[in-house]
Structure 1
C-alpha cells in the first residue's frame, strides 16, 4: 500500500516536474519566438517627440504656433512631483517597484475577468508597457502584441531610469482636445504651466488617459468629476496627499477653459496674420513641412508688432475707401436660418458659428434680427444688447446699390431693407464723433473686392518689420506681398536709370521725350506718356520725377535691354528678365517683396541686403540653427572697450551698384516726392525727414504702386484686383498707395528716426539747372537749381550737352519746347517762351533745348 501510494506521488511529482519543464520550455520558446525582430528599444534613449514650433515677436512674446500634434516637451526634472504622483496613482501604483510589468496586476485582472465571465476586463498594463505600446508597437489587442510589450518593457527598465520612462510617457500620451503630453494639456484645459496646477487639476489630467473622449469637462462633467475624485483617493492611499488635501480638492468644482471659467491660451495670442503665415511657408520650404510642424523650433521673428498694426490699418483704410467709393453692396458674408434668431442665446450661438472674418480691427460680426420700414435691428458679437437694441439706420446705407450674383446693379438704397434681410451676417463698425469720440451709430461695412499688399523693412539689415498681404487674412490667406506676381509698372524705372548711371550717364544727361514706333513682330508698338503729350529733350532727373515713359524707353534702348536685365536680376527683381523694351516700363511681373528689397539697396548705398522675416531660429534644445545677421563684430571678444566707443561691426555684404550711383538715384527719387508724381500725397504729408521713392501705375491702371524709403526704412504698397482689371480713371500710385506709405512712415519715423541720406566718398556736388541740365555757376540758388553729385574726374561739361535719342528721330511736327504740365509758376504766365540752348544730338545734328523744359505729368505713367 505504501509502495502504491509512493508510486502515485512519484508519478504525480514526475508529471508536475515534466509539466513545469515543458511549460518553461514552452514559455521560453514563446518568448524566443516573440522576441525576434523586436523594435530597438534603445532608440527611446534618443527620442525627440513631435512638439510645437512657436514664433516670437522681437519682444519675446508668442505671436503664433504651428503643430501637427499640440505638444510641449517638458523634461523629467521640470515635472512637479504631484503631477507625476497623480498619473502614477491613476495608471500604475506599483510603477516604482516593478521591473516593467506587474505580475500582481496581471493576476488580479485575470481573476476579475474569470469572475465576471469576461464582462469586467480591466487593464493591467504598466506605464512602462504603455510607453512600449505608444512608441514601438501598434495598438492591436492581441496576445502576441501583449507578450512583445512585456518583453520590451522588461528590457527598457534595464536601459532607462524610472524618471526617464515617466518623462517619455507624460510627454507622449494623448489627453484630448488635440493635446499631446501633460504640459500641453495643462495649457489647453487650464491655461497654466504644470507648476501652477492645483492637485485637483492634476488629478483631472491623470484621469484622461483611459478615455479622453468621454471625460470632457463640459459634456461629461459628472463622469469627469467622479474620475478625478477617484484619482485623488488613489493619491491618498499611496501616501502622496493628506486627507484634508483630498477632501478640499474633491469639493472644488472642475473649472476649465472649455467651461468658460478660464480664458483660453489661444486668446492671449494675436490672430494669425500674413506675417506669421509667411514664416510658416518659408520655413516649411527650408526644413520640410513635417519637420517644421514637429520640430519644436523657437523662431524669433523680425516683426515690429506696433508697426504691423499700423501697416494693417493703413492698407485697409485705402482698400475700403476705394471700395466704398464704388458704391456697390455685394451682399452678406454669410447667412443663418431666421428660425435660429428667436432669443439672444440662440442668435449668439448661430452668429458664433457663422463664417465671417474676425481679424479686422474695429469691425464686429453682426446678424440682422429684424428689418423695419427704415432701419434694421442687429445683434452684435461681443457687444451686450441694450434696452433699445442696436440698429443700422437708413442714412447709413444710402451710399450703396445692391449687386446680385450676376453683377446686375439695383437702385440706390434708401432704407436698410434695400440691402439687408433677416439672417444676414455682416460686419459693422461703431461710428464716433471726431470732436469727442462719442458713439453716433453702427455703420455697415463690407470686405473690399479690391486687394493689395504692403511691406516694410530695415534698409541696412533686411529685417522685415511689417507685412500685410491683403485686407484680411481670415477672408483670404493668399499673401499678395510674396505670392502675387504683378506688373510693377513705372516703379521699375529706377532700375533702368541705375543701369544708365552705372554705365556713364549723368543725372543731367539729356534724353528726348518724343514719339516712338517699335516693330514687335505682332504689330507696331507706340508707347506714350500717361498724358498723351510729348515734352522734348529733358534731363534724366525729369524722366524719374515726372515718370516719362518715352524717355525711359529711349534710355533703355541706348543703354541696352540686356544691361537693364542684368541689373534687374542683380537687384533680385527677376530671376530671368526678358530683354524686351516694354519691360523697361515694368511689363514683366514681379512681387512686392522683391521690389521693396531692391529699393533697400538704393537706400543703403548700393549694398546687397536679403529680406528676412526671421532673426534667429533655435531647435528644441536651444541650439541656434539659423541667424540672419552675418556681420562680423570685430571688438566683441575684447575684455573691454574704451569709454565712448561701441563695438565695431564689419559689413561683409556684396556691393550691387556703385555708391555714387545709389546716391544719384536716391536724390532723383527725392525729387519724385518733393515735386514729382508723389509730391501731393507723400511729399505733402509733412513727415519731417528726407524721403525718396517712385510711383507706378500699369497699363489701364490695373495695378498702382508706390515704393519709397527714408534713411532707415523702406516700404512699398500695391493695390489691384486679384483678377486684374482697370481700377478706373484717376487711379494712380501716388493717389492710392502714397497715403498708405505716408500713414505708415509717420509711425515708423517716430520709432526708428531718419535723417539725410549718407553722401558717399569720391564725389563732388555741382549746381545744375534741373530744366535744361546745364551746369550753373558755383553758389547758384533758386527753384530751378538742383545740386547733383558727380564722380571725381567726371565734372559736368559747362557747354553744350549731348542728347540721347535711343536711335529714333524726333519727328518734324513735334513741338520742340514746352513748359510741361505743372511746370509754370503758380499764378504766372504759362505761355511765356522759354530760353533756349543749342545742343548736339547723338546723330551729330543740332537741337534747341529749352532751359525751362518741364518735368512731366502728375500721373505715374505706366506701361504705355
Structure 2
C-alpha cells in the first residue's frame, strides 16, 4: 500500500507539471483581475520635526519602498542562492525542481522535504491568491507565475517581492527590515546582515533576530554556505561573515517621540488625506523635538511638585498641558497634552476646555489701551455688589483687601479683580464684549464674569490669542504642520499661519510692558529667569480648579495649565503663581541653555514715549486719541 501511495504521489506531481506546461501554452488567459502592473503596497507615512528628526511612523503595514537600483547586488545573490538558484533561467516555474521534489517525496515515504516554488510563485502566492493548500490553487499559482513573467522583467519581480514580503517584527519589505533591525540603509549592510535578512521570510517568527538571535544567525550561516558552495563569495568573505555577530535593535515600530503631537497631526490631516497611513507621505512639522522634550520635562516637574505639596492629590485625575509657540511666526514648537501619554492619551492641550481665570485679564487691558486709556490711567479698586433677580454676586480680590484708586499697570500687576471689573464697566460691557469678539474669541458670555475668564478654551486655542502680545498687536494662527509631501517628494499641502491685526504695535507693546511688570514685581515673580525679559500673567479659577501661567519672551510664548480632569478643585494652595509659573522658569532655563543666542530684550516700537506719573514714576505711553487723567505727558522724552 505504501508503494502505491508513493507512486500515486509521484504521478500526481507529473500531472501537476503537465498541467503547468499546458497552462504555459495558454498564457493568453484573462488576468485583468490581477495587479501585475498596478502594484501599490501600503507604505509607511513618516512625520519629521522642523530639524528633520523623526517624530513618528504611522502605517497599516510598516513598509518603506526600495526601487531595484537601491538593492545591492550581494542582496540579490543571497536571496537567489537560498530561495531560487535558477531564478534568472526559468520562466516562472522550475519544472526540474518539481521533479526533484517528487523524487524526494517518494524517497522519504511521502513526506515533502523540499519546496519547489520559485520566487515568482512565492510572490504570486502572497499577493494574488488565498492561502488554501489545494492542487487547484497550486495550478493557478503556476499559471499566474508564467503569466507574470511575460508581463514583468526579472528585476521588476524581485523589486516587488522584496518590497512586499514580511520580515518579522512588524517589518514589511527589505528596506524597512534593514533600517529596523540594523539602523542601516541597504547599501550599508554587511554580508552577514544581508544573509540574516534574506533568511527571515522562510519563517519570520522563528528567525526574528530580536527574539531568536541564535536561530537567525544559524539561518544566515546556511545562506552564506550556499553562496560559498555556488562560488558566489570567496573563502575569505565566507570566513569573515561567519564570525560576525551584527548588533540588532529592538525598536518599536512607530518610533513615536511625541504622541500627543502625532495624534493632533492625524486629526488635522485625516479628513483631507484618505490614505494618510498607507500613502507613504512625508509630513514636516514646525515642532522642535528638543523643545518638546523640555516642555514634557517641565510639565512633569510641576506635576511632581504638586504631589509633594499634596499627598492626597488624586493621581488618576490630576494632570496638565503645555503649548510653546513662536509668536512671530505662529510655529508651534511644542505641544504636550498630558503628563504621561501611556497613562492617558486624552490631549488636554487641544481637547480640554478650561477656564483661563485671571490669565484672561490682559485682553481686557488691551481693549482699554486700544480705546485710549494709558497704563497710568486710574481705576477704582473698590467693592461692588451685583444683583440679578434673586442672585447676588459679590466678587472679591485675592486677599480680600481694596486699594482705592490705582493705575491700570498696578491693577494688572497685582491681578486685582475689582479694579478690572470696574475698568470693564467704565469702558462699557457692550463695548468690551464687541471688542473681544473682534479679537476672535468665541462662545464667551456677554456679562461681567467674562472679565475673570469664566469660559472654556483649550490651551492651543488660547495660545493663538496670546500671540498678540509678543507680536505687538497681531494675532498669528498657531501651526503644527509645515507641509506634506507625497511619496515622490512633491509638496501637496503647505500650511501658512494666517494673521489678524487687533491693535497698533505701540499699543500692543504697552500691555506687554504691563505684563512684564507682572513677572518683575507681581503675581508672576516665580517665572523670572535672570538675563532675559519675560512678560506673563497668572490665572487661578474659583476654588483652585485651574492654574495657569502664560509667559512671553522676545521669541516665544509658553502656556501652562494644571487641574483635575473631572474639574474638581486642587488643594487651596495651588494656583497660577505657585503651581504654573515655576514650570515656565524650569522650561525657559532649559531653553536658554539649548538656544543661548535667543533674543533677550523686548524691542520698543516707534511711537512709544516716556511719561511721568505724579512727577516721579517713569512709564511707557503713546499718543492715544482719548485724554488721560493724572498724567504728565512730555513729548520731548520721545524714545525713537
- TMscore range, shorter length: 0.7 to 0.9
2:445 to 572, 578, 585: 578
| Partner Cα separation in structure 1 for residue 20 and residue 255 of structure 2 | 64
Unaligned runs of 5+ in 2: 1-14, 633-640
Indicate the SS of the match to 2:277: helix
CA contact (8 A) 2:44 2:281 kept: yes
**Aligned equivalent of 1:757:** 602
**Aligned equivalent of 1:245:** 237
**Aligned equivalent of 1:500:** 368
| Partner Cα separation in structure 2 for residue 191 and residue 513 of structure 1 | 65
CA-CA distance at 1:701 after TM superposition: 1.2
1:767 to 611, 616, 620: 611
- Alignment deviations for residues 390-433 of structure 1 (CA, whole Å, 9 cap, x no partner): xxxxxxxxxxxxxxxxx9xxxxxxxxxxxxxxxxxxxxxxxxxx
Indicate the SS of the match to 1:43: coil
Matching of residue 742 in structure 1 with residue 588 in structure 2: no
**Aligned equivalent of 2:464:** 597
Indicate the SS of the match to 2:466: helix
**Aligned equivalent of 2:638:** none
Matching of residue 711 in structure 1 with residue 559 in structure 2: no
1:318 to 302, 305, 310: 302
Indicate the SS of the match to 2:558: strand
CA contact (8 A) 1:236 1:242 kept: yes
Matching of residue 723 in structure 1 with residue 566 in structure 2: yes
CA-CA distance at 1:168 after TM superposition: 1.2
Indicate the SS of the match to 1:208: helix
CA-CA distance at 1:676 after TM superposition: 2.4
Q: 1:263 to 1:210 in 2, by over 3 A?
A: closer
CA contact (8 A) 2:332 2:478 kept: yes
Give 1 or 2 for the bigger CA radius of gyration: 1
CA contact (8 A) 1:453 1:480 kept: yes
- Alignment deviations for residues 448-500 of structure 1 (CA, whole Å, 9 cap, x no partner): 97422222221111222333333333343333323322111011122223333
Q: 1:511 to 1:25 in 2, by over 3 A?
A: closer
**Aligned equivalent of 1:209:** 201
Q: 1:740 to 1:112 in 2, by over 3 A?
A: same
- Alignment deviations for residues 650-704 of structure 1 (CA, whole Å, 9 cap, x no partner): xx844233333322221222222233222x323xx35223322111110011111
Matching of residue 786 in structure 1 with residue 619 in structure 2: yes
Residues 338-357 of structure 1 correspond to what in structure 2 (within 5 A)?
none
Unaligned runs of 5+ in 1: 1-19, 257-261, 331-406, 408-446, 631-651, 770-775, 801-864
**Aligned equivalent of 1:61:** 53
CA-CA distance at 1:172 after TM superposition: 1.1
Indicate the SS of the match to 1:232: helix
Matching of residue 286 in structure 1 with residue 154 in structure 2: no
1:473 to 333, 336, 341: 341
| Partner Cα separation in structure 2 for residue 286 and residue 104 of structure 1 | 53
Residues 299-318 of structure 1 correspond to what in structure 2 (within 5 A)?
299-318=283-302
Q: 1:749 to 1:37 in 2, by over 3 A?
A: closer
Q: 1:303 to 1:785 in 2, by over 3 A?
A: same
**Aligned equivalent of 1:39:** 34
CA contact (8 A) 1:323 1:450 kept: no
Q: 1:626 to 1:205 in 2, by over 3 A?
A: same
More off after superposition, 658-667 vs 136-145: 136-145
CA contact (8 A) 1:491 1:696 kept: yes
Matching of residue 608 in structure 1 with residue 475 in structure 2: yes
| Partner Cα separation in structure 2 for residue 185 and residue 479 of structure 1 | 32
CA contact (8 A) 2:210 2:249 kept: no
CA-CA distance at 1:77 after TM superposition: 0.9
- Alignment deviations for residues 799-846 of structure 1 (CA, whole Å, 9 cap, x no partner): 99xxxxxxxxxxxxxxxxxxxxxxxxxxxxxxxxxxxxxxxxxxxxxx
**Aligned equivalent of 1:677:** 523
| Partner Cα separation in structure 1 for residue 296 and residue 240 of structure 2 | 50
1:159 to 148, 151, 159: 151
CA contact (8 A) 2:209 2:248 kept: no
Indicate the SS of the match to 1:612: coil
| Partner Cα separation in structure 2 for residue 25 and residue 558 of structure 1 | 94
Q: 1:794 to 1:319 in 2, by over 3 A?
A: same
Q: 1:795 to 1:587 in 2, by over 3 A?
A: closer
| Partner Cα separation in structure 2 for residue 686 and residue 29 of structure 1 | 80
| Partner Cα separation in structure 2 for residue 510 and residue 222 of structure 1 | 80
Indicate the SS of the match to 1:312: helix
1:534 to 394, 402, 405: 402
Aligned length in residues: 613
TM-score normalized by the length of structure 2 = 0.84
Matching of residue 277 in structure 1 with residue 260 in structure 2: yes
| Partner Cα separation in structure 2 for residue 117 and residue 191 of structure 1 | 46
Q: 1:473 to 1:174 in 2, by over 3 A?
A: same
| Partner Cα separation in structure 2 for residue 272 and residue 547 of structure 1 | 41
**Aligned equivalent of 1:345:** none
Indicate the SS of the match to 1:583: helix
- Alignment deviations for residues 375-394 of structure 1 (CA, whole Å, 9 cap, x no partner): xxxxxxxxxxxxxxxxxxxx
Matching of residue 619 in structure 1 with residue 486 in structure 2: yes
- Alignment deviations for residues 291-326 of structure 1 (CA, whole Å, 9 cap, x no partner): 333333333443444444433333333222221122
More off after superposition, 309-318 vs 88-97: 309-318
